[in-house]
């Protein structure tokens, strides 16, 4: 099932003029969109009969999708913003996503520091993804394979989940990329 429609344009009013949008505003909007894409992608895996053993496993899959989407946003922004603007936007995106992780995991699992492990994972994944190619708004095979492998490692290689890597590479990732790419471009217009 495809990801539901996600609003990715600014509401037209004087207060939303392009000059009034800060990097924090753009990063916040991207974070909200990335969160929705990751959440729907995780739900879609479940609808496709892949099994989660626990809420911890499901939230780890969401976090992995978020790290992937940050990398997609970074690659899209590479040609759209100068280096400093891109850095500010991606850092803001990571911080806002860490806020989402902290809020949602606190609600699910109780008090704790969920932000730090997410930021550590995000930084590790950004270094890993840097080795892969992204041309014409599309990641190469190795980029997708790495992402699929990360999801498989979280979900486990049991009889039901052993094909999740193919599902991620062929359906989930392309759908997520399509939505994230459109959103990033729309938010910067």
Question: Tens digits of per-residue pLDDT, 88-126?
Answer: 999 999 999 999 999 999 999 999 999 999 999 999 999
Q: What is the pLDDT of residue 22?
A: 85
Q: What is the pLDDT of residue 159?
A: 87
pLDDT in tens, 138-147: 999 999 999 9
Q: What is the pLDDT of residue 12?
A: 56
Structure tokens at 66: 């978020």
Residues with Cβ within 8 Å of 113's Cβ and at least 6 positions away in sequence, in order, are 102
Q: What is the pLDDT of residue 47?
A: 96
Structure tokens at 52: 């989660």
The Cβ of residue 15 has, within 10 Å, a number of other Cβ atoms equal to 8
Average pLDDT, the chain: 91
Residue 78 buriedness (CB in 10 A; 0-12 / 13-18 / 19+): exposed
pLDDT above 90 as % of the chain: 83
Per-residue pLDDT for 167 more than 80? yes
- Residues written for the chain: 189
Per-residue pLDDT for 42 more than 90? yes
Alpha carbons 144 and 142: distance in angstroms, whole number: 5
pLDDT in tens, 2-26: 445 544 454 454 554 545 678 889 9
Per-residue pLDDT for 74 more than 90? yes
- Entry pTM: 0.90
Alpha carbons 93 and 90: distance in angstroms, whole number: 5
Tokens 């729907």 locate to 40
Mean pLDDT along residues 27-39: 97
């Amino acid at each position: 099932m495809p990801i539901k429609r996600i609003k990715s344009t600014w509401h037209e009013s004087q207060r939303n003029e392009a000059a009034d949008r800060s990097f924090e505003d753009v990063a916040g909007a991207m974070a909200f969109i990335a969160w929705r894409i990751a959440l729907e992608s995780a739900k879609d895996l479940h609808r496709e009969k892949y099994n989660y053993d626990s809420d911890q496993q499901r939230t780890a899959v969401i976090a992995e999708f978020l790290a992937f989407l940050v990398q997609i946003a970074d690659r899209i922004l590479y040609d759209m913003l100068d280096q400093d603007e891109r850095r500010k936007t991606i850092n803001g995106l990571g911080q806002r996503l860490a806020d989402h992780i902290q809020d949602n995991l606190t609600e699910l699992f109780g008090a704790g520091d969920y932000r730090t492990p997410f930021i550590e994972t995000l930084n590790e994944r950004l270094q890993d993804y840097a080795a892969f190619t992204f041309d014409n708004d599309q990641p190469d095979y190795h980029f997708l394979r790495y992402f699929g492998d990360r999801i498989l490692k979280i979900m486990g290689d049991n009889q039901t989940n052993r094909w999740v890597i193919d599902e991620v590479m062929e359906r989930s990732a392309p759908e997520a990329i399509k939505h994230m790419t459109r959103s990033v471009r729309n938010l910067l217009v």
